[in-house]
Amino acid sequence: MRHIRAALIAAILATPATARADPSDWDAVLSVARGQTVYWNAWGGSTTTNAFIEWVGERVAEDHGVTLEHVKLADTADAVSRVIAEKTAGRDEGGAVDLIWINGANFAAMKEGGLLFGPFAEDLPNWALVDVEGKPVTTDFSVPTEGYESPWAAAQVVFMRDTADLPEPLADMDALLDWAMANPGRFTYPQPPDFLGATFLKQALYGLTDDREAPLGPVEDADYDAVTEPLWTFLEALTPVLWREGRAYPQSGPAQLRLIADDEIDLAISFSPGEASAAIANFELPDTVRTFVPDGGTIGNASFVAIPYNANAKEGAMVVADFLLSPEAQARALDPEVLGYGTVLDMDALTPEDRAAFEGIDLGVATLSPDALGPALPEPHPSWMERLTEDWIALYGVAQ
């Protein structure tokens, strides 16, 4: 991400483009949005997520006359780089990216560079339904969102285990290491800089360090070597007993699931408490898979959408963002037979009819109850993800 940050700073012009959309005038937003085509740049590595986005497109077309095109990304940074390139070229209107599924370092970089339209999120009609007290929707990796991105899914780290081979949950990272050493080759994680692989590094750091406050601020403000020393000691012992002895890694979360399905591994990390149930429902995992969280809590965050400053269809993008917050869309995403994503809505803010729709969803055999899920730990500052990933690649990066 450092190269993106450097390019951002170089690209920023003295006077930002004037936004033509007024989020507070929702009737006008709806009027202008009708007939627009919204290019949503979003991760395209999951067939279930792709199908959900396709359904969103059908619904916003039906209700609002907005056409939604899913631009499938392997890396969100690709969309960020495109906006930077347009800024550098002086294309301050009519940009190619209308909406981005974003969070973490990518959001921080775009916000810092003045490359986001807004604030808009708190003017969306469905914002009134969002659980701003109980969900991490007003900060993103410790960076205040300030209305420049809108949440659409809640997430928390869980571990998936095949109970046929790993009957009991693992209490902490030390227990994970002991089990991995006794069962070599049966665990792996996606290869950083994959988001889920980097998340494993952060979760392991939280589980091993005595200083949980340091990661909440910029990495340069902490004694990085002292805070991370337990992590590197842990990885030095773990890596040789990983799947393929740490000489290869799955490239994504779905690739990791396939390893469980093929009985090559017994344990995997996920950022979706409902992912295992959804995968079982879609015959992508055996029905012996269950989820657990280690003692002491796991990292929680939200998925957001943001609108670039020069988006061609700002109004249509806001319409999509608002629909994603609708009880209809949130309930569909929660259903493990669709996605199994956590909701960002406050159940007490819903009508009895909408609340009943959520209560009627069977969360699936592998999904933990909210109480069993335990406390959500805050995401570290984006600079920690960048530094940990860089150092991991220097130590363990492998050619595929």
We report the CATH number of the domain holding residue 293 as 3.40.190.10
In the chain, the amino acid numbered 353 is E
254: containing domain: 156-300+377-396
- Asked whether residue 226 is domain-assigned, the answer is yes
Distance separating alpha carbons of residues 329 and 349, to the nearest angstrom? 16
- Asked whether residue 368 is domain-assigned, the answer is no
Residues 181 and 228 in one domain: yes
Residues 274 and 338 in one domain: no
Residues 216 and 104 in one domain: no
- Asked whether residue 369 is domain-assigned, the answer is no
**Which pair of tokens denotes residue 7?**
């390019």
Distance separating alpha carbons of residues 16 and 38, to the nearest angstrom? 22
pLDDT of residue 398: 67
Residues 292 and 315 in one domain: no
**Among the ranges given (6-20, 280-294, 323-337, 349-363), the one the predictor scored with the smallest mean pLDDT:** 6-20
- Asked whether residue 372 is domain-assigned, the answer is no
Q: Binning pLDDT at 50, 70 and 90, where does residue 235 land?
A: very high
Residues 238 and 387 in one domain: yes
Mean per-residue pLDDT for 207-224?
94
Number of domains in the chain: 2
- Asked whether residue 14 is domain-assigned, the answer is yes
Mean per-residue pLDDT for 37-54?
94
Residues 275 and 332 in one domain: no
Residues 145 and 165 in one domain: no
Residues 47 and 167 in one domain: no
- Asked whether residue 371 is domain-assigned, the answer is no
Cβ neighbours for 312, distance < 8 A, ≥ 6 positions apart: 36, 39, 93, 94, 95, 96, 98
pLDDT of residue 15: 31
Residues 187 and 286 in one domain: yes
Q: Binning pLDDT at 50, 70 and 90, where does residue 374 land?
A: confident
3-state SS, residue 116: strand
Residues 103 and 32 in one domain: yes
Residues 141 and 271 in one domain: no
Cβ neighbours for 289, distance < 8 A, ≥ 6 positions apart: 160, 161, 162, 163, 260, 276, 279, 280, 366
Mean pLDDT for all residues in the chain: 92
DSSP-assigned letter for residue 190: P
- Asked whether residue 55 is domain-assigned, the answer is yes
**Total-model pTM:** 0.80
Residues 213 and 135 in one domain: no
